[in-house]
Amino acid sequence: MVVDMAAGGPARWELYRVLAEPVRLRLLALAAEEELAIGELAVLLSESQPNVSRHIAPLKAAGLVLARKQGTRALVRIAEAASADPVVADALESGRALCEADGSLSRIADVIRERDRVAREFFARAPARDAAVGDTSDATAAYVAALARLLPDRALAIDAGTGDGALLDVLAPAFERVIAVDRSEVQLERARARVARRGYDNVTLLKSELGAPELRSRVGTGADVVFASRLLHHAPRPVDLVRQLARLARPGGAIVVIDYARHDDESMRDEADLWLGFEPAELRRFAREAGLEGAEVIPLPPSFCGRGKDAHLPWQVLVARTPRTASEPIDARSESRSESNGGAGEGRRASDDNPTVRSPSRKNGGRTQRNEGKGRKP
């Protein structure tokens, strides 16, 4: 394919002029490797942000890169069709060679880890005011337990990034076994208090990254449902997180991701939010690239969104399933990226917290309260 220079736009020979500067070749190569913010590109290229923006402009005008806004940030990635153009393909090869020579290509992993560091440090701190677990004064657990009998598969659920364990008030009464995983001991202490208060003895709390061998061994052949509630916007590479969720589900198992729709509230960055929500099309793309099927994105009414700091934001839920038959493994390049990505949770040592037994909430009529807001943002 040849890049289409629109009528009234620059002639095709302009493409050679646009790609004549080495810094643009390097920028193009970096944008082909990862969607990067202008500030991140500036660090990798050792250029000022205004200079990077100046070089992005002609690349964007030629249809070679796409730029999208995330609040006050602009994120740049290569246009999918551009690399099929033989001239652009040659430019990419030259750009990669330059980036390999100056080390900027290998430093992309450092940029991703820096994204993750902010979230990791935020959740490692104890909250200034921890929300009380609350009294089990209503019959929500009884209702959930009754409704659960209509679910065809409820042997095992995973709560990825459990935080204070708020989602366990729904999962524990509904599933025979629940594994609640978080990489922060501070967050697990809050979840542990909830589990003890509620008497959820079918819940295993595990300090682990999502790709850790111990978690995978606990899951066995895979979970019926893997939940990730308001976790995706903290991930350095959201698509890698969805891939990890998919690996934890059994063939035909469900992945349920609750997260924000696109918004412009920059104050949420103080909560370690790397991404200001997602477009429905982005969530469906993440699911597709993770090998999931039947992806559906449903907006949630504001009245469903609790009373936490993020209650004013638009929420949505992605539901998708793994193929019924085992699919081909994700390519080595994607696997390698995930394992080097702290936010995606690959390859870190895990430790066990709780044994797993049965829940009194189904046998003894245990009670619980409604899920009050986001565990990570009391």
CA dihedral 125, 129, 133, 134 (to 10 degrees): 180
Q: Would you say the C-alpha torsion 337, 338, 343, 346 has a positive or negative sign?
A: negative
Task: Encode pLDDT of 35-58 as tens digits.
Answer: 999 999 999 999 999 999 999 999
Question: What residue type is assigned to position 71 of the chain?
Answer: G
Burial 322-340 (b: 16+ CB within 10 A, else e): beeeeeeebeeebbebbbb
In angstroms, the CA 138 to CA 315 distance is 25
CA dihedral 33, 229, 257, 272 (to 10 degrees): -20
Q: Are strands 223-229 and 156-160 parallel, antiparallel or unpaired?
A: parallel
Q: How far is CA 76 from the centre of its chain?
A: 19
Task: Encode pLDDT of 105-126 as tens digits.
Answer: 999 999 988 888 878 887 777 5
351 to 149, 161, 166, 190, 247: CA distances (angstroms): 32, 15, 21, 17, 20
Task: Encode pLDDT of 242-296 as tens digits.
Answer: 999 999 999 999 999 999 999 999 999 888 899 999 999 999 999 999 999 999 9
Return the DSSP state at 71: T
The mean-pLDDT minimum among 142-146, 157-161, 255-259 falls in 142-146
The mean-pLDDT minimum among 213-222, 283-292, 355-364 falls in 355-364
Q: Would you say the C-alpha torsion 156, 158, 164, 168 has a positive or negative sign?
A: negative
Judge whether residue 10 has pLDDT over 70: no
CB 340 within 8 A of CB 128: no
Judge whether residue 29 has pLDDT over 50: yes
- In 10 A of CB 79, how many CB atoms? 18
Tell me the three state secondary structure of residue 9: coil
**Is this prediction's pTM over 0.85?**
no
CB 223 within 8 A of CB 253: yes
80 to 31, 64, 247: CA distances (angstroms): 11, 9, 26
Return the DSSP state at 368: B
In angstroms, the CA 378 to CA 365 distance is 28
Binning pLDDT at 50, 70 and 90, where does residue 73 land? confident
CB 259 within 8 A of CB 227: no
86: left (phi > 0), else alpha (psi -120 to 50), else beta? alpha
Residue 223, both tokens? 């979970």
Mean pLDDT across 83-98:
91
In angstroms, the CA 330 to CA 290 distance is 8
CB 229 within 8 A of CB 219: no
- Complete domains list, the chain, with CATH: 13-106 (1.10.10.10), 129-363 (3.40.50.150)
The phi and psi torsions of 315 (rounded to 5 degrees) equal: -105, 155
User: Across the beta sheet with 73-78, what order do the strands follow?
Assistant: 36-37, 73-78, 65-70
**Biggest alpha carbon–alpha carbon distance for the chain:** 76
* pLDDT value, residue 47: 93
In angstroms, the CA 168 to CA 180 distance is 8
CB 337 within 8 A of CB 272: no
Is the pLDDT higher at 4 or at 29? 29
- In 10 A of CB 11, how many CB atoms? 8
Question: What residue type is assigned to position 103 of the chain?
Answer: G
